[in-house]
Chain A
Amino acid sequence: MKTGGRIVAKAYLWLILIVIYAPIAFIAVFSFTEAKSLGNWTGFTFNLYHSLFTGATSNSEALLVALKNTVVIALVASLISTVLGTLAAIGIYNLSGRKKKTIQFLNNIPMLNPDIITGVSLFLLFVFLHITKGYTTIILAHVTFCTPYVVLNVLPKLTQMNPNIYEAALDLGATPMQALRKVLVPLLRPGMISGFILAFTMSLDDFAVTYFTAGSSGIDTLSTFIYSDVRKGGLTPELKPMMTLIFLLVLVVLLVVNLRSFRKQKQLEI
């Protein structure tokens, strides 16, 4: 590729990245001022950070609860999804014919459905079954749309695996449980981890499904908290520092993880 083309390509990437990050930078900048509305600069201050952590205002207290809910729900849902999805992937791998096609088709549905359809359908299910909405319904709903991603991340690891590996473990005297624990799970771990991370991300980012399955339980996640803020006509100011901190945390974690795997790769190449 000619250098001219390379410069254009790089410039294009950076332009898109700048546009994508502009709103985040905007939030970060205005987290250091106290004004209620987003674009209003009233002088530099750490006050919002302070009141976020002390829960000084009633709103910031509710915000911290919403944050805790978001993380707890995402953690629980993605853990359940990982276990359920990994077992399912092993099962699907060993199935064949129509049974395999059917379950793979069903597995695709939650990914194809827009969030609102998933949300509405689960809302009707809980109404139909007379299940009171709350943590359980939210988590079940999140497991529904998270598990397919785990299945899709674990399944390729199984197909790449030597088909005799499991039998080799049995042959060497491992019981089926031992073979699962000592051989299958370690080999599937990369797939399980990326599935877990994807599930966790999906759960964190979800709004529509939570909205429909939280009902009037009063449980707020960050998404629903922000949405009701919006409806009320203004953001809770402490959201700005919180989002800034979350972004920094994620940025650092991702950079560290990626640089480490990058370095490992380099070492292997040498």
Chain B
Amino acid sequence: MGKRSAWALPYFIFLVLFVVLPLVLIGVYALTDADGRFTLANMGAFFTDPKIINSFLVSLEVALENTVICILVGYPVAYILADKSLNRSAVTAVLFILPMWINALMRTMATAEIFNVLGIGLGKGTLLFGMAYDYLPFMIYPIYNILDKMDKSYAEAAQDLGASPVKVFLKVTLPLSLPGVASGVMMVFMPTVSTFAVSEILTNNTIMLFGSVIQEQFNNLMWNQGAALSFIMLIIIGVTTLIPGNKNSETVEGGATV
């Protein structure tokens, strides 16, 4: 028994080396200057450089809108897919992940080109459409998983107790599926904030998301400044995922088994 627990050791070492140490390095680079001396200047730039803070606020706004769109569009899809009376075949569910096998940048290019052909100008609207298009599967799957595994007798019990179909959904199904929504939000919100490339294509470089700012700084060899912005994102992720308690570790699991 004792011996088999040691099999986790190589992965533990790997995690320390390739996950923990790199994250620590982000902090180290964020708080030092090019010569390795301690400084708060990089972090300060976030609050003082209007270009950076603006792009951060825009990113939050886009991410929030994208998340809401993904929930509104994705929840019904997940619900229909999971309902055996509406959808009998597992193949339909597979059709929703299939596009992920086509390169995301390529799909984005094609989307932008369709807008071009239709004569729709690239901007905020097209950005939101493209983002929702990219992240929809990440919202559908955690919700689908939890709805699919949900014990049908909960809903039946509610019906038995006199709840109308609408009430059954609002009082039973929806609350029980919230963990799936939560992990969907986790897989959509932060990645949207940090997107780059996709936003460049979809807005013709008119809207710069936070990810693009970070990427630009690394491109310009401003590693410490880039690290500082990454560090700020990391702190936000840490705060949002750790504060709700260890419940998240479970919802993430549910979401990851696509």
Real complex partners, A and B? yes
Which residues of A are in contact with B by a Cβ distance under 8 Å?
1, 6, 9-10, 12-13, 16-17, 19-24, 26-27, 37-39, 84-85, 87-88, 90-92, 94-95, 99, 101, 103-117, 120-125, 127-128, 140-141, 143-144, 147-149, 151-153, 156, 166, 176, 194, 198, 201, 204-205, 207-208, 211-212, 222-223, 226-227, 230, 235, 239, 243, 246-247, 250-251, 254-255, 258-259, 261-262
**Selected contact of B191 from candidates A106, A115, A148, A258, CB within 8 Å:** A115
B246 → chain A, closest Cβ, in Å? 8
**Selected contact of A222 from candidates B89, B103, B111, B234, CB within 8 Å:** B103
**B21: nearest chain-A partner, CB-CB:** A125
**Selected contact of B230 from candidates A20, A116, A141, CB within 8 Å:** A116
Cβ proximity bits B1-41 to A, threshold 8 Å, 1 near / 0 not: 10111111111101110111111011001000000000000
In the complex, the answer to whether B194 meets A117 with C-beta atoms within 8 Å is yes
**A88: nearest chain-B partner, CB-CB:** B11
Count the B residues whose beta carbon is within 8 Å of the partner chain — how many?
A: 89
Residues of B within 8 A of A247 (CB): 98, 101-102
Query: In the bound complex, how far is the Cα of B8 from the Cα of A125, in angstroms?
Result: 23
Majority SS at the chain B contact face: helix
**Given A23-B110, A198-B258, are A91 and B101 neighbors across the interface (CB < 8 Å)?**
no
Among listed B43-51, B152-160, B171-179, B210-218, interface-contacting one: B210-218
Query: In the bound complex, how far is the Cα of B100 from the Cα of A247, in angstroms?
Result: 10
A-contacting residues, B164-214, CB 8 Å: 186, 190-191, 193-197, 200-201, 211, 214
Q: Report if B239 contacts A (CB, 8 A).
A: no
**Given A16-B73, A201-B101, are A121 and B11 neighbors across the interface (CB < 8 Å)?**
no
Residues of B within 8 A of A20 (CB): 96, 99, 133, 136
Residues of B within 8 A of A103 (CB): 8, 11-12, 15
**Selected contact of A262 from candidates B91, B107, B215, B252, CB within 8 Å:** B91
Which residues of B are in contact with A by a Cβ distance under 8 Å?
1, 3-12, 14-16, 18-23, 25-26, 29, 73, 76-77, 80-81, 83, 85-87, 89-92, 94-96, 98-111, 113-114, 116-117, 133, 136, 186, 190-191, 193-197, 200-201, 211, 214-215, 218, 223, 226-227, 230, 233-234, 237, 241, 246, 248-249, 252-253, 256-258
26 interchain pairs (CB within 8 A)?
A: A1-B83, A12-B76, A19-B133, A24-B110, A37-B113, A39-B114, A39-B116, A87-B8, A87-B10, A88-B10, A90-B8, A94-B5, A95-B8, A106-B19, A112-B237, A116-B230, A120-B218, A143-B14, A149-B256, A156-B257, A222-B106, A223-B104, A226-B109, A247-B98, A259-B91, A261-B90
In the complex, the answer to whether A125 meets B106 with C-beta atoms within 8 Å is no
**B210: nearest chain-A partner, CB-CB:** A116
Query: In the bound complex, how far is the Cα of B257 from the Cα of A156, in angstroms?
Result: 10
**A140: nearest chain-B partner, CB-CB:** B18
Residues of A within 8 A of B114 (CB): 22-23, 26, 39
Residue of A123, A149, A211, A251 with most chain B CB atoms under a 10 A cut-off: A123
**Selected contact of A205 from candidates B90, B104, B201, B214, CB within 8 Å:** B104
Query: In the bound complex, how far is the Cα of B200 from the Cα of A108, in angstroms?
Result: 29
**Selected contact of B7 from candidates A88, A105, A255, CB within 8 Å:** A88
Residues of A within 8 A of B102 (CB): 24, 27, 243, 246-247
Query: In the bound complex, how far is the Cα of B101 from the Cα of A220, in angstroms?
Result: 18
**B215: nearest chain-A partner, CB-CB:** A116
In the complex, the answer to whether A112 meets B241 with C-beta atoms within 8 Å is yes
In the complex, the answer to whether B252 meets A112 with C-beta atoms within 8 Å is yes
